[in-house]
């Protein structure tokens, strides 16, 4: 167990580079299971979640070499299609191997992921989609077993544009006979990245980025090299770090279009945001103004930025309203922000935040990845020191966040609890 000791009050200044996207890397690494051969993924961030996905692949029998930001995966020797409870518990997104395994081996078994800190997160849409392709699903003793004689292209309508279900269905239909049409598909940039990777291997996937994706089955894929897109949530987090500390930070290696909802909301608070090619500069010199936020699937405001943006709103002028519509239980950070002096009232899925001039340091705990990031941001702007427990959650999605912020002038020390 590790904790951060954070001394707040420093204005962040300088340049910070964004790593490769966690949420692109995870499905792309899982998709490499489709290939009877070797592929290379570049721009792979050194994150705990990515290490879990590597462990899942190794458990299934793949050869994985991860050096610096490149992962070389050879999935020709897969000898198992079962993902145990232990690996599933370490990371929900391990369920992304379901699609590629069923596509290539016509069999997969994963432990049921269950609920997590931000909501119940069922897999009914993944299963409904797989069944439409001819997969037989049984749920017993906490495991989901998927089997098929053959996979037949079909039309699937997702009741909700689930990112994971869209990705699993894209991968499941790669070797299916005929064409699969996924309607009301998720439109996140990570889905486009997955499509690009699959097509580089020889798949025929069209429409990612829109709500209709068409996959025409192929017989064979071949090895390729692919670089994942930059992490838009990491970039958004750095933007808030600049804004909340009254800083001046240039964030490089970003795709600004992916950040539009965050950039627009930040501008509404009065923060100056300049966009140039693959860079965003954020300059803040006064207290932010209050704004209202409602999380939505892409291209709406990302739920993965809700806790961090809320941290900013705790020090805004006047009252802001945040509504979470994607996950039912994504307010664990509220209690911790209150410990730091924030005035937040919860009414169901809505949080009403009365901005204060400053927060004060306290001992708080990261309950999940983005809640942890929000607490780091709050601590950077707080008076006095903050002790942040359970930083392992933060390491799931940020590469040594303390090093990136210390290089900009923050004071964060990592210590063993």
If the CB atoms of residues 197 and 327 are measured against ligand UD1, the closer one turns out to be: 327
Q: What is the largest CA-CA distance in the chain?
A: 63
Three-class SS of residue 372? helix
Task: Single out the segment in contact with ligand UD1 by CB under 6 A; choices: 64-72, 115-123, 149-157, 333-341.
Answer: 115-123
Inter-residue contact 333 to 364 (CB < 8 Å) = no
Work out which of 15, 124, 363, 417 binds ligand UD1, going by CB under 6 A. Answer: 124
Catalytic one of 7, 64, 70, 116: 116
Closest to ligand UD1 by CB, 114 vs 119, is 119
With binding defined as CB under 6 A, does residue 125 bind ligand UD1?
yes
In the window 132-161, what residues touch ligand UD1 (CB under 6 A)? 160
Helix spans in 222-357 (H): 232-244, 260-268, 306-313, 332-339
Using CB under 6 A, pick the residue from 303, 308, 386, 390 that binds ligand UD1. 303
- What is the footprint of ligand UD1 within residues 8-47 (CB under 6 A)? 23, 26
What is the pattern of x (binds ligand UD1, CB under 6 A) and - over residues 189-228? -x--------------------------------------
Site string for ligand UD1, 167-186 (x = CB under 6 A): -------------------x
Torsion of CA 222, 223, 225, 227, to 10 degrees: 70
The CA distance from 13 to 305, in Å, is 21
Binding-site member from 304, 324, 336, 399 for ligand UD1 (CB under 6 A): 304
Q: Is 355 in the site for ligand UD1 (CB under 6 A)?
A: no
Q: Is the Cβ of residue 30 or residue 359 nearer to ligand UD1 in the bound state?
A: 30
Beta-carbon count within 10 A of 183 CB: 12
> How far apart (Å, rounded) are the C-alpha atoms in residues 189 and 195?
10
CB 199 → ligand UD1: shortest distance, Å?
19
Number of residues that bind ligand UD1 (CB under 6 A): 21
| Active-site residue, 39 included | no
Burial class (CB in 10 A: 0-12, 13-18, 19+), 212: middle
**Should residue 123 be labelled a site residue for ligand UD1 when binding is judged by CB under 6 A?**
yes
Report the distance separating Cα 74 and Cα 37, nearest Å.
5
CA dist 109 and 138 (Å) reads 9
Q: Which of 162, 180, 224, 367 binds ligand UD1 (CB under 6 A)?
A: 162
What are the angstrom distances between the C-alpha of 258 and each of 8, 51, 243, 387? 30, 25, 19, 33
CA separation (Å) from 281 to 256, 389, 415? 11, 30, 31
Residues in the site for ligand UD1, rule: CB under 6 A? 23, 26, 93, 119, 121-126, 160, 162-165, 186, 190, 303-304, 326-327
- Catalytically annotated residues: 116
């Amino acid at each position: 167990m590790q904790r951060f000791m954070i001394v707040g009050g420093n204005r962040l200044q300088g340049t910070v580079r964004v790593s490769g996207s966690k949420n692109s890397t995870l499905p792309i690494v899982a998709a490499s299971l489709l290939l009877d051969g070797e592929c290379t993924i570049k721009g792979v961030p050194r994150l705990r979640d990515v290490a879990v996905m590597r462990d899942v692949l190794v458990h299934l029998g793949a050869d994985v070499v991860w050096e610096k930001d490149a992962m070389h995966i050879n999935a020709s020797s897969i000898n198992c299609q079962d993902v145990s409870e232990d690996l599933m518990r370490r990371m929900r997104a391990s369920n992304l191997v379901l699609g590629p395994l069923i596509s290539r081996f016509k069999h997969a078994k994963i432990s049921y992921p269950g609920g997590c800190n931000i909501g119940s997160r069922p897999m009914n849409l993944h299963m409904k989609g797989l069944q439409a392709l001819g997969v037989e699903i049984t749920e017993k003793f906490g495991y989901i077993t998927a089997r098929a004689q053959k996979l037949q292209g079909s039309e699937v309508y997702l009741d909700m544009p689930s990112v994971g279900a869209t990705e699993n269905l894209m991968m499941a239909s790669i070797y299916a006979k005929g064409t699969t049409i996924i309607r009301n598909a998720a439109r996140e940039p990570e889905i486009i990245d997955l499509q690009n990777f699959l097509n580089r291997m020889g798949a025929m996937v069209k429409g990612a980025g829109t709500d209709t994706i068409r996959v025409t089955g192929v017989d064979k894929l071949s090895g390729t090299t692919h670089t994942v897109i930059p992490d838009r949530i990491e970039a958004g987090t750095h933007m808030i770090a600049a804004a909340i500390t009254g800083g001046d930070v240039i964030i490089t290696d970003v795709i600004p279009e992916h950040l539009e909802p965050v950039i627009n909301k930040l501008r509404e608070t009065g923060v100056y945001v300049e966009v140039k090619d693959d860079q965003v500069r954020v300059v803040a010199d006064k207290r932010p103004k209050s704004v209202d936020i409602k999380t939505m699937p892409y291209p709406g405001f990302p739920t993965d930025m809700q806790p961090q943006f809320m941290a900013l709103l705790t020090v805004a002028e006047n009252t802001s309203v945040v509504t979470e519509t994607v996950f039912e239980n994504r307010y664990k950070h509220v209690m911790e922000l209150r410990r730091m002096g924030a005035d937040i009232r919860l009414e169901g899925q809505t949080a009403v935040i009365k901005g204060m001039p400053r927060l004060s340091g306290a001992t708080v705990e990261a309950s999940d990845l983005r809640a942890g990031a929000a607490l780091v941001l709050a601590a950077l702007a707080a008076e006095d020191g903050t002790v942040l427990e359970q930083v392992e959650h933060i390491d799931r999605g940020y590469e040594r966040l303390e090093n990136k912020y210390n290089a900009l002038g923050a004071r964060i020390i990592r210590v063993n609890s």
